[in-house]
Amino acid sequence: MNGIWDVIKIIIPGAIAYTMPILMGALGGLYSERSGVTNLCIEGLMLFGCFASAATIVKLQALGMNYTLTIVCGICVAMLASMALSYLHALASIKLKADQTISGTAINMLSTALSLFLAQTITGSGNITIVRGIIRNNIPILSKIPVVGPLFFSQTYWTTWLCLIVWGVSYFLLYKTNFGLRLRACGEHPSAVASAGVNVHKMRYIGVLLSGMLSGLGGAVILVTYAGEYNSGAGINGLGFLAIAALIFGQWKPLGILGSTAFFGLFMTIANTGRVIPGIASIPTGFLGLFPYLATLIALILSSKKSRAPLASGQPF
Amino acid sequence: MTKESTKVIKEPLKVKKVPSFLVSITAVILGVIAGSILILIIGKNPIVGFERLLFGAFSNKRRIGNTLSMSTQLILMGLSFSFAYKTGLFNIGGSGQMLMGGIVSTILGHYLPSSMPKPVYIMIVVIGAVLIGGLWGLIAGFLKAKFNVHEVVSSIMLNWIAYWLVYDFIPRFVKDQAIAVKSKPLDFSRTLGLEWLRKATGMSTLNLGFLFAIIACVVIWFILEKTTLGYNLKAVGANKYCAEYAGIKIQRSIMISMAIAGALAGLAGLTYYCGYSNLMEMGKMPNEGFDGIAVALLGNCSPIGVFFAAIFFGALKMGKGSLAATGIPTELADTIIATIIYFTATSVIIASFWNKIYKKRYEKKKAKLEGEEKK
């Protein structure tokens, strides 16, 4: 019994750490797709955020800046950089009426190549490693609660709470405000929204730029929490595409994607920490590695029959 | 006077529509300009950079051979993407299909008896690579047809599943005792390399795969243009509901299209891992999946366009190795490719730009003719 509790104590905080970047990516996708722009470039945007924050943190640290401050700056720069990159996608898919899937793919390729190009120019190698990530903290009082305390409130990254706040604000924004109603309507019946006097293009620009910003945040969170380095070879291991899968699995709804990303986070953690878990330590690394992706595929098979994307997603207006 | 008017009737003026290759070339030029700006930003000379790129790709027999050998995979991956795209499917799973083709042919290469005559051996590995690649594509097609799972997401998941399967299979079946993260190198006689071809091109990696790629171009062109199957698939891509109304089985078309696309990518895996290279690395997702999309889009998804686009990108990828001496990061080549694709995605704008020019020219001509007539 004690053994299982120890395993759970390893897995749950790990799963939360893995969930947050995917959640941010998926939330970004949500803004974009709900406004009517298919966004396949979450992966590229997250990667670019990861790179931008790594470069910023390393450069600022060399100047001798306070450690926490460099991380905050890194995250802000990542959000701005990814937003700038997402502007290219917005421009292509909204103004230039390009095929959004192709434009997204181009942004992915551009992000991979450009970040590596810049990394080599800045640091001379394809990898940027930061000295250390965020220090984990216990939340006062709450971490003393039995069971819940050690699982959710001990040894947490402050970015986790930031991400959860962003999620909460997004929920409110999308469902309780005029702005949210308009944004969602742009993804369903843009012409109806336009006839009500709302600028559809503007709403879509906002949707895509927000998705860039949040994906950038997600990428930076990957760096400052568990990854600790920008690695051009591995990239972000397809987390951005997992985020898109989570978006579909979560039925394009904030609550749904919170659940689906938690599901992926849990499976990713089991795959990554499989070595220390008694029952599954004997499974070869390769099979553990493919487990989250297989689980995603199965989850998609079970949920896709009734899945319904925003009606106008992918259609230029 | 009468002579003039008959001439006008003989050649009625029409507004010309821009041919697709002109759009592609415009995208290439814009990409090169963007690349030049990038080189200028880091304070280097773009002309030197592009000169080195050309030098690296074409300066001698061996380099030309290597460029063609690099293009082989790109041709096949480009064909793979184009074929699915014609049916309205976005096959982003090329990397996974390629990995599966590669691992199966690598395993076959190590386990088939070395006494086997080469033609028989090559036939077996080709069939193996094509079948497994086709299966990998078919899974995505099946999930799309039966369960409405979007092929982009499912094939990305299949990419990673293939990635981890290869990660497991290399140490399990073809482990190299010396380097733990690579497979045992295949003997030259077990690759697609041909001794005389290697000698003729100054020990380049050019291999039989290039011939396969050309054959594949012809076969795919034939299927798409000359067979009922190709017509049906294109009809599904053009308008699903119309095709269904005409009695074409949509679900079957989707599965067939993805299977053929996967088979082409599997073949690319064979030419890459048992021709261009002779081993596989653990934990490496091949870039060719995305490069293939680039090739297909630049080549306007036609087999002949794909062929030339692949040679172009192959030259960029091969030539970038010579960039190092100039201090320009070699990723310049990939950045240019990505930019070109971005501009290809916005081809509507490029096309309308050219169409406007054509229209202006037409109006000028018309005004001139009318003026002459008045005289």
Map out the domains of chain B as residue ranges: 71-306
pLDDT of residue B11: 55
CA distance A283 to B241: 47
Task: Give the residue from A150, A102, A99 showing the smallest Cα distance to B349.
Answer: A99
- HSE at residue A129, side-chain half, CA atoms within 13 A, is 3
Task: Report chain A residues whose CB lies below 8 A from the CB of B90.
Answer: 101
B348 → chain A, closest CA residue: A98
CA distance B289 to B78: 9
Q: Is B155 on the interface with A (CB under 8 A)?
A: no
Chain centroid offset of residue B222 CA? 18
CB-based contact B258:B52 (threshold 8 Å): no
- Asked if residue A291 has pLDDT above 50, the reply is yes
**Tokens read off for B25:** 């070339």
**Tokens read off for B194:** 């041909």
ipTM over 0.90: no
Least confident of B210-214, B349-353, B362-366: B349-353
Residue B339 to residue A301, Cβ atoms within 8 A: no
CB-based contact B235:B90 (threshold 8 Å): no
Q: What is the average pLDDT across A39-62? A: 91
CA distance B12 to A168: 65
Q: CA of B32 to nearest chain A CA: how many angstroms apart?
A: 14
pLDDT of residue A295: 87
SS (HEC) of chain B: CHHHHHHHHHCCCCCCCCCHHHHHHHHHHHHHHHHHHHHHHCCCCHHHHHHHHHHHHHCCHHHHHHHHHHHHHHHHHHHHHHHHHHCCCCCCCHHHHHHHHHHHHHHHHHHCCCCCCHHHHHHHHHHHHHHHHHHHHHHHHHHHHHHCCCHHHHHHHHHHHHHHHHHHHHHHHCECCCCCCEECCCCHHHCCCCHHHHHHCCCCCCCCHHHHHHHHHHHHHHHHHHCHHHHHHHHHHHCHHHHHHCCCCHHHHHHHHHHHHHHHHHHHHHHHHHHHCCCCECCCCCCHHHHHHHHHHHCCCCHHHHHHHHHHHHHHHHHHHHHHHHCCCCCHHHHHHHHHHHHHHCHHHHHHHHHHHHHHHHHHHHHHHHHHHHC
Q: Kindly report, residue by residue over A218-233, the tens digit of the pLDDT.
A: 999 999 888 888 887 7
Which sign does the torsion angle of CA B210, B212, B218, B223 carry? negative
pLDDT of residue B1: 45
CA distance A229 to A252: 31
Q: CA of A223 to nearest chain B CA: how many angstroms apart?
A: 20
Q: Kindly report, residue by residue over B342-356, the tens digit of the pLDDT.
A: 888 777 778 888 888
Q: What is the average pLDDT across B128-146? A: 95
pLDDT of residue A206: 94
CA distance B92 to B157: 10
Q: What pLDDT band is residue B13 in, cutting at 50, 70 and 90?
A: low
Q: Is B353 on the interface with A (CB under 8 A)?
A: no
Backbone angles phi, psi at A231, to 5 degrees: -120, 115
Q: What does R_g of chain A's alpha carbons equal in angstroms?
A: 20
Q: Is A236 on the interface with B (CB under 8 A)?
A: no
Range B40-48 contact pairs with CB under 8 angstroms and sequence separation of 24 or more: B42/A121, B42/B328, B44/B326, B44/B327, B44/B328, B45/B326, B48/B326
CA distance A130 to A150: 28
Task: Report chain B residues whose CB lies below 8 A from the CB of A98.
Answer: 345-349
CB-based contact B332:B48 (threshold 8 Å): no
Of B147, B284, B332, the CB nearest to A301: B147
Task: Report chain A residues whose CB lies below 8 A from the CB of B165.
Answer: 286, 290
Q: Kindly report, residue by residue over A108-143, the tens digit of the pLDDT.
A: 888 988 888 888 888 777 788 887 777 777 777 777
Across chain A, mean pLDDT equals 86
CA distance A200 to A197: 9
Is the pTM higher than 0.90? no
Backbone angles phi, psi at B71, to 5 degrees: -70, -25
Q: What is the average pLDDT across B79-84? A: 95
Give the whole-number percent of chain B exceeding pLDDT 70: 96
CA distance B317 to B322: 10
Give the whole-number percent of chain B exceeding pLDDT 90: 46
Q: Kindly report, residue by residue over B281-327, the tens digit of the pLDDT.
A: 888 888 888 889 989 988 988 999 999 999 999 999 898 888 877 88
pLDDT of residue B161: 93
Task: Give the residue from B364, B280, B347, B372 showing the smallest Cα distance to B26.
Answer: B347
Q: Is A107 on the interface with B (CB under 8 A)?
A: yes
Backbone angles phi, psi at B335, to 5 degrees: -65, -40
Which sign does the torsion angle of CA B357, B362, B363, B368 carry? positive
One-letter amino acid at A175 equals Y
Q: What is the average pLDDT across B106-116? A: 91
Backbone angles phi, psi at A154, to 5 degrees: -100, 145
pLDDT of residue A80: 95
Across chain B, mean pLDDT equals 88
Q: Is B143 on the interface with A (CB under 8 A)?
A: yes
Of A116, A234, A307, the CB nearest to B331: A116
Q: What is the average pLDDT across B14-25? A: 80
Cβ contacts of residue B128 below 8 Å, gap of 6+? B104, B105, B108
pLDDT of residue A270: 83
**Tokens read off for A189:** 């019946």
- Asked if residue B201 has pLDDT above 50, the reply is yes
Higher-confidence residue of A65 and A74: namely: A74
- Asked if residue B6 has pLDDT above 60, the reply is no
Q: Is A248 on the interface with B (CB under 8 A)?
A: yes
Residue A109 to residue B329, Cβ atoms within 8 A: no
Of B152, B157, B167, the CB nearest to A289: B167
Q: CA of A144 to nearest chain B CA: how many angstroms apart?
A: 40
Residue B164 to residue A293, Cβ atoms within 8 A: yes
Residue B161 to residue A294, Cβ atoms within 8 A: yes
Q: Kindly report, residue by residue over A83-108, the tens digit of the pLDDT.
A: 999 999 999 888 888 888 888 888 88
One-letter amino acid at B155 equals S
Task: Report chain B residues whose CB lies below 8 A from the CB of A286.
Answer: 164-169
pLDDT of residue A148: 74
Q: What pLDDT band is residue A217 in, cutting at 50, 70 and 90?
A: very high
Residue A107 to residue B342, Cβ atoms within 8 A: yes
CA distance B16 to B11: 13
* CA distance readout (Å), B154 to A266, A293, B83, B147: 20, 9, 18, 11
Residue B168 to residue A285, Cβ atoms within 8 A: yes
- HSE at residue B342, side-chain half, CA atoms within 13 A, is 26
Backbone angles phi, psi at B70, to 5 degrees: -65, -35
Higher-confidence residue of B133 and B331: namely: B133
Task: Report chain A residues whose CB lies below 8 A from the CB of B161.
Answer: 290, 293-294, 297
pLDDT of residue A100: 87
Q: Is B147 on the interface with A (CB under 8 A)?
A: yes
* Residue B287: Cβ-neighbour burial (10 angstroms; 0-12, 13-18, 19+): middle
CA distance A166 to A31: 12
- Asked if residue B126 has pLDDT above 90, the reply is yes
Query: B183 in the Ramachandran plot: left (φ > 0), alpha (ψ -120 to 50) or beta?
Result: beta
B166 → chain A, closest CA residue: A286
Of B160, B169, B345, the CB nearest to A92: B345
Residue A296 to residue B150, Cβ atoms within 8 A: no
Q: CA of B346 to nearest chain A CA: how many angstroms apart?
A: 5
Q: What is the average pLDDT across B167-191? A: 86
pLDDT of residue B268: 96
Cβ contacts of residue A211 below 8 Å, gap of 6+? A28, A29, A30, A31, A32, A39, A42, A45, A86
Q: Kindly report, residue by residue over A238-280, the tens digit of the pLDDT.
A: 888 889 888 888 888 999 999 999 988 888 888 877 766 766 7
